[in-house]
């Protein structure tokens, strides 16, 4: 698949198993931890976010925030607590390294704009089966960086899309978990596949099961991973891939044990600044999150 160097996607390819990607850059606000605003509500990023809201919206957001804080306390009594530091661990609790050509989430809430290159994402909850999506839909799910789709919805992905599983597995084997966390992998359907679904893997935890990352780390990785995926989607759309809708399951909310509302809010606070995405490409600003019940 061709790529478009002018937008910094030189290394991007949808060819099975060949994708390499750049690591998203984080803004200074993020590096101070503003992605996990629920944990530290007085951070500048959150104040900015609230500053963009007015009246009733502010009250609603504050109420949501209180609920989330409670949920987070319940789910994560020592969320900032010590996970092991790997030798090549970056500063910032393992956040990905800076890259000059990636989208920068700013932690600022703004209405979605008409410009295709700038705005925030809207996450809409629906009940239904994620796999019933029409052709050319991207189906997003959270992945560990070990190469296992062993449980939960990942197991269903493995059963339905065995070729995609092999690509995901090989991708993990080529890299260290510490490098993959906070990135994404977009896998195109085989031309002869029955369901022409793209699969968006967001690497939100380095490992799985009892060795999975803490909820705080998973949320922290979710932001750059989602942005990386959106950047890849934009690049591939520009290259002519017929990508349509973007749907996801309630990522992180099952085996990864992170309350859905927290992941949802992280995604809705991401902002694309427009510098790295072609103005010719309409990003999928609406993401529909499916839950089976």
Of 249, 270, 272, 287, the one binding ligand HQG (CB under 6 A) is 249
Binding of ligand HQG at residue 256 (CB under 6 A)?
A: yes
Binding of ligand HQG at residue 160 (CB under 6 A)?
A: no
Q: In angstroms, rounded to a whole number, what is the distance separating the alpha carbons of residues 75 and 81?
A: 13
Q: In angstroms, rounded to a whole number, what is the distance separating the alpha carbons of residues 128 and 132?
A: 8
Phi then psi dihedrals of residue 218, to 5 deg: -65, -45
The nearest distance, CB 159 to ligand HQG, in angstroms, is: 11
Cβ distance to ligand HQG smaller for residue 107 or 259: 259
> Beta strand 122-127 with 119-120: parallel, antiparallel or unpaired?
unpaired
The nearest distance, CB 253 to ligand HQG, in angstroms, is: 4
Q: Which stretch binds ligand HQG (CB under 6 A): 1-9, 43-51, 82-90, 127-135?
A: 127-135
User: 287 pairs with which residues across the strands?
Assistant: 123, 246
Distance of CA 91 to the CA centre of its chain: 20
Of 28, 150, 162, 242, the one binding ligand HQG (CB under 6 A) is 150
The nearest distance, CB 147 to ligand HQG, in angstroms, is: 9
Q: Which stretch binds ligand HQG (CB under 6 A): 14-22, 27-35, 111-119, 136-144?
A: 136-144
Phi then psi dihedrals of residue 273, to 5 deg: -90, -10
Cβ distance to ligand HQG smaller for residue 13 or 144: 144
Cβ distance to ligand HQG smaller for residue 5 or 292: 292
Dihedral angle, C-alpha 97, 100, 105, 108, nearest 10 °? 130
Nearest to 71 by CA among 249, 221, 253: 253
E runs forming strands in the chain: 119-120, 122-127, 138-144, 184-187, 198-205, 246-249, 271-272, 286-291
Phi-psi region of 278 (alpha: psi -120 to 50; beta: other; left: phi over 0): beta
Binding of ligand HQG at residue 203 (CB under 6 A)?
A: no
Cβ distance to ligand HQG smaller for residue 205 or 232: 205
The nearest distance, CB 204 to ligand HQG, in angstroms, is: 7
Q: Which two tokens stand for residue 107?
A: 């932690």
Which residue blocks in 76-213 are alpha helix, DSSP H? 91-94, 152-160, 162-173, 177-180
The nearest distance, CB 187 to ligand HQG, in angstroms, is: 15
Binding of ligand HQG at residue 292 (CB under 6 A)?
A: yes
Of 26, 251, 277, 281, the one binding ligand HQG (CB under 6 A) is 251
Binding of ligand HQG at residue 271 (CB under 6 A)?
A: no
Of 143, 186, 216, 266, the one binding ligand HQG (CB under 6 A) is 143
The nearest distance, CB 222 to ligand HQG, in angstroms, is: 10
Residues in contact with ligand HQG by the rule CB under 6 A: 129-131, 142-144, 148-154, 156, 208-209, 249-256, 290-292
């Amino acid at each position: 698949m061709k790529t478009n160097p002018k937008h910094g996607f030189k290394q991007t390819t949808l060819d099975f198993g060949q994708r390499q990607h750049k690591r998203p850059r984080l803004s200074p606000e993020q590096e101070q931890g503003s992605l996990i605003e629920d944990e530290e509500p007085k951070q500048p990023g959150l104040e900015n976010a609230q500053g963009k809201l007015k009246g009733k919206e502010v009250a609603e957001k504050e109420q949501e925030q209180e609920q989330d804080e409670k949920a987070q306390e319940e789910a994560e009594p020592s969320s900032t607590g010590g996970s092991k530091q790997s030798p090549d661990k970056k500063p910032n609790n393992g956040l990905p390294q800076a890259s000059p050509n990636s989208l920068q989430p700013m932690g600022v809430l703004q209405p979605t704009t008409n410009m295709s290159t700038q705005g925030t994402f809207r996450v809409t909850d629906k009940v239904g089966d994620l796999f019933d999506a029409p052709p050319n839909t991207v189906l997003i799910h959270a992945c560990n960086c070990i190469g296992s789709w062993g449980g939960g919805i990942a197991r269903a992905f493995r059963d339905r899309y065995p070729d995609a599983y092999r690509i995901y597995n090989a991708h993990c084997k080529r890299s260290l978990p510490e490098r993959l966390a906070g990135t994404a992998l977009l896998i195109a359907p085989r031309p002869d596949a029955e369901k022409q679904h793209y699969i968006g893997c967001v690497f939100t935890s380095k490992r799985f099961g009892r060795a999975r990352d803490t909820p705080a780390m998973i949320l922290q990785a979710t932001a750059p991973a989602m942005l990386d995926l959106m950047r890849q989607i934009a690049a591939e759309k520009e290259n002519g891939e017929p990508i349509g809708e973007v749907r996801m399951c309630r990522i992180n909310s099952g085996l990864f044990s992170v309350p859905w509302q927290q992941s949802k809010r992280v995604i809705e606070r991401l902002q694309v600044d427009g510098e790295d995405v072609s103005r010719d490409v309409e990003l999928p600003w609406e993401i529909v999150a499916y839950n089976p019940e």
